[in-house]
Amino acid sequence: MSSAKDVKGPRARGPEAAPGAEPEPPSGRDSDPEPPARGRGADPEPPPPGGVLWSLAGDIRALLMLPAALTLQVAHPAVGAGVDEHSVFRTDPWGRGERSLRSLQLWVYGGAEAAEEGRRLRVLHRTIQGTDTRGRPYHALTPANYAWVHATGFPVYQHAARYLIRPMAPAQERALYAEWLQVGRILGIHDRDMPQSIEEFWPYWEKMLAGEIEATTVVRELVDVDQPVPPPDRGPWPLRAVLRALWPVLLPPLVRFRRFVTIGLMPPDARAAVGLPWSAEQEKRLRRMCAVLRVVVPVLPERLRYLPRARAARAARRTAAPNG
């Protein structure tokens, strides 16, 4: 997607190298939470089948990328406050994670369902408001807040793919960014509220890291190895029973691994902005783990390599164009 001149600093290298708020925010370019007006039948298209995001988002290795993106989202003072005050991530982490993953998969592989999922999310967020960590009134659908949640996906995908899959060619990075803009439109974000090119994105990103992002309460909880996590409450009951019995033994290494991949697969400039520690020894361990995954995952059968909705979308595409 971008050439070396498009990406500065660590991005150019591979692994080596709400009280007090009104019920609705005032209208206007900077605070209007409503989606763009569209004519009937003019729903935004999801990313194209066979594109960069199509291949990336459904790969099981993408599951390791999501904690970094989610942690960056809640590093925004308003987003962190909204999740802290309104989310069930503490009491229902497995359900919350399952719903978030389902939503993301719909944006990419949902076809006509993608835009409907975007509308559902906006309705869900209409009542989320309060006071952020800096004492400012916030609303979840204020463009600056909602657009940040979307924006975190691109740099995390771009960075983590270097470790887990392969570094992207400049044309692939540009395609990924264009496809991620399509996801933003599905979420109801105006083009005017999203950087429209990589050249516009990186200055926006650097400005957010320098002046807005911080280690919020939710960030600290997500990387805290002592934070309690209940055992999984879904799946076959025999498996749930076994996990519940073994949970005191399984939980400590699980939360340590979560912290490891969350911090390790976060872009280094974002990691530094949030104040998350990362050592040279941890970097070596991450590279070794990812080297194994780069060899093993591509040779897995499709039913193991891809998430269910991605697998179904790939099968449907083959059926629609058997000779393609």
CA dihedral for 170, 176, 180, 181, sign (positive or negative): positive
Residues 147-176 have a mean pLDDT of 95
**What is the total residue count of the chain?**
324
Q: What are the φ and ψ backbone dihedral angles of 139, each rounded to 5 degrees? A: -130, 140
Distance of CA 156 to the CA centre of its chain: 7
- pLDDT for residue 23 is more than 60: no
Q: Is 216:74 a contact under the CB 8 Å cutoff?
A: yes
Q: Is 68:156 a contact under the CB 8 Å cutoff?
A: yes
Average pLDDT, the chain: 85
Q: pTM here?
A: 0.83
Strand partners for 139: 129
Question: Would you place residue 119 in the very low, low, confident or very high pLDDT band (cuts 50, 70, 90)?
Answer: very high
Q: How many CB atoms lie within 10 A of CB 35?
A: 18
Residues 211-223 have a mean pLDDT of 94
- pLDDT for residue 211 is more than 90: yes
Question: Would you place residue 41 in the very low, low, confident or very high pLDDT band (cuts 50, 70, 90)?
Answer: low
Q: Is 141:122 a contact under the CB 8 Å cutoff?
A: yes
pLDDT at 86: 84
How many Å apart are CA 217 and CA 147, to the nearest integer? 21
- pLDDT for residue 152 is more than 90: yes
Residues 191-202 have a mean pLDDT of 95
Q: Which residues contact 222 (CB under 8 A, 6 or more apart)?
A: 67, 70, 71, 74, 258, 262
Rounded alpha-carbon distances, angstroms, from residue 247 to 19, 50, 167, 236, 254: 38, 40, 37, 16, 10
Q: Is 115:184 a contact under the CB 8 Å cutoff?
A: no
Residues 269-298 have a mean pLDDT of 97
Q: Which residues contact 142 (CB under 8 A, 6 or more apart)?
A: 25, 31, 33, 78
Question: Would you place residue 90 in the very low, low, confident or very high pLDDT band (cuts 50, 70, 90)?
Answer: confident
- pLDDT for residue 193 is more than 70: yes
Which position has the higher pLDDT, 39 or 195? 195
Radius of gyration, CA atoms only, the chain: 20
In this structure, what token pair is assigned to residue 269? 């400039």
Q: What percent of the chain has pLDDT over 90?
A: 65
pLDDT tens for 240-259 read 899 899 989 999 999 999 99
